[in-house]
Structure 1
Amino acid sequence: MTDAAAPTTRFSLRVNNDLDLPTLTGLAVAAEEAGIDQLWVSNDLMLRSAPALLGALFERTTTLHLGIGIMNPYSVHAAEIAMVAATLQEQSGGRFLLGLAAGSGEFLSWIGIDQPKPLTGTREALRSIRALLAGDRPLDVPGAGEGWTRDAYLRLKPIQVPIYIGAMSPKMLALAGAEADGVLALLFPPEHFETASALVAAGADTAGRRLADLDMPACVWLSIDEDRERADRALALKLAYYGAAFSPYLLARAGLAPEDFGPAVDALRDGDEERAIASITPQMLSLGISGDPATVIDRCRALQRLGATHLSFGPPLGPDPVASIRLLGQSVLSEIRRPA
């Protein structure tokens, strides 16, 4: 009797929607050539439109699955999210992935939109969007929210679109496990995967599902370069800008607090990026994965030992993102795909 074959590891990239189309196209082409399975583009407010960007990228790629990570039902109605999803899935021939979450309350406040009951709002949107894509009426679906009438249905053929929930809180992770096709959970540090996946698994169990029934990428920040110091500097600058805004709960798991990033914030206010980079400690760097290929492989292997079968790499990717993607393809992915 032989053991069952180990699951094949999949890979994805996550990038921000501040990139212009030529730059993003270069990244997408490099990702496809490197053997990356998915590319996710954020849809943060006041930047470029992710649906428009993906519409163009589908014309420039052939195998890469492209996702919006994420759309929210507060600034865009669930009906319009379903329209976007159906159209992009039709255009791409089945390569579109929809990321759905409550969104950033801070960003929504910029445009005067409240975010009441994020968990309920996300659950209702998930159920109503899924109903619309299936050719059904949200009015007939329990828990799909109020305000729908008999006329609220898509005048299109039913189409299947995988829906991933963007989640960090225990309740949102449990919702993803119970109802979604996948979950996008940012991991600071990467080893938080063990806790997050357990919460998703518990949610799946309550719904009679298994963790294996959905796609749970281990979403980490990555910076890779042949020169380890260059890689560390790129991640340090990213942490200097964003570290103070990380969840105190997640930072505490790494022995850190938001105020630890105060010196970096002060340096950036003074316009001194070099001082900001210097203020990022090795403990802070451990919130992401950075270094040369051998170092990156070791951290990724640790995630595989925790059960991760899908590794998702987010910005900065490296000092030169396109070169970093190529280095991933040449030196890392094939190694990680082999059984340890």
Structure 2
Amino acid sequence: MTTFDRVGIWNWERPDIAEELHYAQYAEEQGLDSVWQGESRLVRDAMTVMGAYTQVTDEIDIAPGVTNCYTRNVALMAQTFSTLDELSGGRMKLGIGAWWDPLASNVGIERENPLRRMWEYCTVTKRLLDLENVTYEGDTLAVENIELDLVRSNADARDVPIYVGATGPTMHKLTGELVGLGVCGGVFMNYLIPPEHNELGVEKLEEGVEKQGGTLGDVDRPQLIAVSMDEDYDAAVENARHLVTQYIGQQPHIRTACGIDPERGEEIKEELGSWPAKEADIERASRLVDDEIVTNVVAAGTPEDVVERVGEYCEAGCTEPVVYSLGDNVEDVIDVFAEHKAS
């Protein structure tokens, strides 16, 4: 039987926010290890929801999957996670990605040199969480004589591991280097990509961490994996089609990494139109997304199919599947993965 050492869930865009709190509680009750909150689009902000998680759970780890390195300055990010660390009793992780266009440019952010930005942002945030006084002059950010001002609260360093949300090979290599330097704890591998994409990512992680004197074993590698589970295989595939269409059409890094023929990817982008897409746009563009495209990037099918496919991601380098149920049967998905957790 396929087993997993650790399993997490990813909460995102449920009709009622109370459902997300419930699923975090239920995942903890069933023995899962982490709950990650999405924040890649302008839906719910992760910080508010994670604060609520700290008050309705006791043991499960909590993280954004992922926030970004642009919209909150480093001091505010460190301040926020210092607070969440206190509220959670030391259960926080910090997942940070480089965001995406056109969303970033539409809100006035120029994503020039996102690799350098990630390096500098993680470096300064880590030093602030370690309660250092920081002066830093970089290419993308500069701070002078700042530190967390913990005069009347717990003044211990905040043990909040940082995870870089990486999709492309260069960001994986950079993450490996940051882990080797002790800045980051690992990578949060992306979803809507095939398992074989992990292999290149792991190769680059190893290259980066070894450059800084570490080993691949130093790099934790949780991964967001979309799951569409139904006893009716065809229904499971159909339920995933709209999400796959939306992300291939809107997000260039997914379109590049998902394994789709580049010409078909451009056709989907053109048919979907500009961001944000309407439901009618997604429905129209989804006619270009066949079953093979869907099942290449989503763990779709019966419970047995889903577990087997998620196992393939782990064989390709993931150390903790973080499953995102695309259907309403979130508790069923949690139950299935709880049954497959190694004892």
Please give the range of the TM-score, normalised by the shorter of the 2 chains: 0.7 to 0.9
Deviation, 1:226, is 2.6
Residue pairs, 1:1-340, within 5 angstroms: 9-16=5-12, 20-44=16-40, 46-139=42-135, 147-150=142-145, 152-156=146-150, 157=155, 158-179=157-178, 180-187=184-191, 188-246=193-251, 247=253, 248-251=255-258, 253-255=259-261, 257-261=264-268, 265=272, 271=280, 279-285=288-294, 286-314=296-324, 317-320=325-328, 323=329, 325-335=330-340, 337=342
User: Residues of 1 paired with 2:268 and 2:202: CA distance?
Assistant: 28
Deviation, 1:183, is 0.8
Deviation, 1:70, is 2.4
Letter in 1 for 2:292: Q
TM-score under structure 2 length normalisation: 0.84
Q: CA offsets, 1:164-200, max 9 Å, x none?
A: 1111122211111111212112141233111111111
Structure 1 residues 19 and 82: CA distance shift in structure 2, 3 A: farther
Counterpart contact for 1:39–1:64, Cα < 8 Å? yes
Q: CA offsets, 1:144-165, max 9 Å, x none?
A: 9753223x11122221101011
Structure 1 residues 238 and 105: CA distance shift in structure 2, 3 A: closer
TM-score under structure 1 length normalisation: 0.85
Structure 1 residues 146 and 298: CA distance shift in structure 2, 3 A: closer
Structure 1 residues 259 and 110: CA distance shift in structure 2, 3 A: closer
Letter in 2 for 1:280: V
Which moves more between the two structures, 120-129 or 214-223?
Answer: 214-223
Counterpart contact for 1:223–1:231, Cα < 8 Å? yes
Q: SS at 1:283's partner residue?
A: helix
Counterpart contact for 1:241–1:265, Cα < 8 Å? yes
Structure 1 residues 64 and 299: CA distance shift in structure 2, 3 A: same
Deviation, 1:331, is 3.0
User: Residues of 2 paired with 1:73 and 1:307: CA distance?
Assistant: 25
Counterpart contact for 1:12–1:39, Cα < 8 Å? yes
Letter in 2 for 1:265: L
- Number of matched pairs: 324
Percent sequence identity over aligned pairs: 25
User: Residues of 2 paired with 1:22 and 1:135: CA distance?
Assistant: 35
Deviation, 1:136, is 0.6
RMSD after superposition? 2.9
User: Residues of 2 paired with 1:276 and 1:313: CA distance?
Assistant: 25
Structure 1 residues 34 and 203: CA distance shift in structure 2, 3 A: same
Deviation, 1:276, is 5.6
User: Residues of 2 paired with 1:145 and 1:277: CA distance?
Assistant: 38
Counterpart contact for 1:34–1:328, Cα < 8 Å? no
User: Residues of 2 paired with 1:269 and 1:47: CA distance?
Assistant: 15
Structure 1 residues 17 and 68: CA distance shift in structure 2, 3 A: farther
Q: CA offsets, 1:184-228, max 9 Å, x none?
A: 121412331111111111111111112211211233221112332
Structure 1 residues 125 and 17: CA distance shift in structure 2, 3 A: farther
Letter in 2 for 1:292: T
User: Residues of 1 paired with 2:279 and 2:62: CA distance?
Assistant: 38
Structure 1 residues 80 and 328: CA distance shift in structure 2, 3 A: same
User: Residues of 2 paired with 1:114 and 1:272: CA distance?
Assistant: 27
Counterpart contact for 1:123–1:144, Cα < 8 Å? no
Q: SS at 2:280's partner residue?
A: coil
User: Residues of 1 paired with 2:282 and 2:172: CA distance?
Assistant: 35
Q: SS at 2:164's partner residue?
A: strand
Q: SS at 1:115's partner residue?
A: coil
User: Residues of 2 paired with 1:131 and 1:72: CA distance?
Assistant: 18
Deviation, 1:92, is 0.2
Letter in 2 for 1:105: D
Q: CA offsets, 1:26-48, max 9 Å, x none?
A: 22123223332111112245332
Gaps of 5+ in 1: 1-6
